[in-house]
């Protein structure tokens, strides 16, 4: 006998997903996981070359994907991204806000305002503009959907030497909670993931010191640094009907480090 639980698996066949920051790292892994489980995936970032590599890999594995350039902090480019996705695939059902920047690493008191502005433009304003554009599309279709915001544990406490990045991610967590409350009646769920340290090019500044890596690994209950696929599985879960009673949550994925 098929139960309601068995129906709520992580199959996303028939759904269309946009993954920003999809050319590498966490975004690439999420895009591939969604495609592997049946979604048509549009990967987006500023540079086409990396996107085409990811889209080609998805197609070679039997999935469906398209590469569309988009600056995640520019409203006109975000609107174009959503419009081109709808033109190509007819709809959008899933949004993964993953594009991010962190141009300054150092004491908060010394940051210059252009770096501050760029961080919030991409990490916070861009997430909101993407979420709003996709939500408006879903409401216009009277369709349910899932928005997954990739935040960070840096947004859940003090973040020395990456404070503005942490502040921008704290804003994403707050935005996730508010959007989930305001959009819940439409069938749109909004959740966030707060990764710990994940081995990506983006985290390069934190991974240059082998001794620091050993300390981090020793301080983790699972004794290792995160990998992009560790985040992709969680994003797939939140995008799918398996999580259809979950909204407004920020789920920490850090190997247990924050709880120690």
Residue 123 per-residue DSSP state: I
Smallest CA-to-CA distance from 238 within 28, 33, 92 is with 33
Active-site residue flag, 165? yes
> Any idea of the CA torsion for 96, 101, 102, 103, to the nearest 10 degrees?
180
Give CA separation, 16 vs 12, 146, 165, 170, 210, in Å.
Answer: 8, 11, 29, 28, 40
Copy the structure tokens of residue 219. Answer: 């301080």
Own/partner pairs for 130-133, CB < 8 Å, 24+ apart? 130/18, 130/20, 130/72, 130/78, 130/81, 130/82, 130/95, 130/97, 131/95, 131/97, 131/175, 131/179, 131/190, 133/78, 133/79, 133/81, 133/82
- Answer for the pair 156, 170: CB distance below 8 angstroms, yes or no: yes
- Choosing from 89, 104, 127, 165, the catalytic residue is 165
Q: Go through the chain and tell me how many residues it has.
A: 260
- Answer for the pair 226, 255: CB distance below 8 angstroms, yes or no: yes
Residues annotated as catalytic are: 165
């Amino acid at each position: 006998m098929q139960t309601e639980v068995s129906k709520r698996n992580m199959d996303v066949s028939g759904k269309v997903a946009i993954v920003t920051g999809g050319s590498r790292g966490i975004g690439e892994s999420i895009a591939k996981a969604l495609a592997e489980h049946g979604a048509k995936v549009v990967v987006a970032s500023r540079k086409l070359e990396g996107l085409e590599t990811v889209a080609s890999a998805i197609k070679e594995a039997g999935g469906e994907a398209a590469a569309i350039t988009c600056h995640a902090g520019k409203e006109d480019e975000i609107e174009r991204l959503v419009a081109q996705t709808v033109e190509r695939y007819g709809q959008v059902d899933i949004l993964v806000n993953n594009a991010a920047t962190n141009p300054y690493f150092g004491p908060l008191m010394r940051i210059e305002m252009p770096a501050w502005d760029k961080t919030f433009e991409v990490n916070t304003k861009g997430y909101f503009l993407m979420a709003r554009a996709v939500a408006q599309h879903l409401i216009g279709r009277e369709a349910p959907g899932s928005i997954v915001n990739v935040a960070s544990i840096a947004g859940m406490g003090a973040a020395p030497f990456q404070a503005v990045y942490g502040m921008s991610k704290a804003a994403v967590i707050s935005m996730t909670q508010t959007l989930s409350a305001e959009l819940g009646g439409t069938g749109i769920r909004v959740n966030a993931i707060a990764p710990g340290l994940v081995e990506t090019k983006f985290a390069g500044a934190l991974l240059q010191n082998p001794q620091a890596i050993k300390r981090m690994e020793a301080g983790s209950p699972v004794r290792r640094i995160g990998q992009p696929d560790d985040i992709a599985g969680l994003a797939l879960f939140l995008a799918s009907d398996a999580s259809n009673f979950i909204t407004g949550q920020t789920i920490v994925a850090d190997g247990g480090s924050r709880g120690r």
